[in-house]
Amino acid sequence: MNSRILMMASATVMSAFGLVLSFAPEEAMAYFRQPTAGAVPVLLQLTGALYLGFAFMNWTAKGSVLGGIYGRAIVLGNFLHFTMGALALLKVSIGPKAGPSFWVLAGVYTVFAVLFGLTLFRHPGDPEGAS
């Protein structure tokens, strides 16, 4: 996959998550039928800020050469984020209180984890993806 498209797609998804969590944390938790007591809204706003920071980083890196040793820190950070996020979301999705929204989020995270993994371990000039 073209790394430019991957970075633009991940920036778009992360900015959507970031905006929702930054400006509507209570509504986001109500959608997932989760309690919003104590410091949860503030922690969600901080998480939204992290998403927006990642989104801006990905958007500005979209024109860079990524893959192999090029842009390794950016690709590795995205790979780690999406892999750990996919594992956490899959764990929650299997639980008794999970709805279809968690499965959709887990699917999105899994797709991005696989794509960033391929980008991380592939030379940017190799069209077949063989190392």
- HEC string of the chain equals CCHHHHHHHHHHHHHHHHHHHHHCHHHHHHHCCCCCCCCHHHHHHHHHHHHHHHHHHHHHHCCCCCECCECHHHHHHHHHHHHHHHHHHHHHHHCCCCCHHHHHHHHHHHHHHHHHHHHHCCCCCCCCCCC
User: Whole-prediction pTM value?
Assistant: 0.85
pLDDT digit string (tens) for the chain, length 131 residues:
688 999 999 999 999 999 999 999 888 888 877 777 788 889 999 999 999 999 999 999 998 888 777 788 999 999 999 999 999 999 988 988 777 888 999 999 999 999 999 998 887 766 555 44
Predicted local confidence at residue 126, as pLDDT: 63
Predicted local confidence at residue 1, as pLDDT: 66
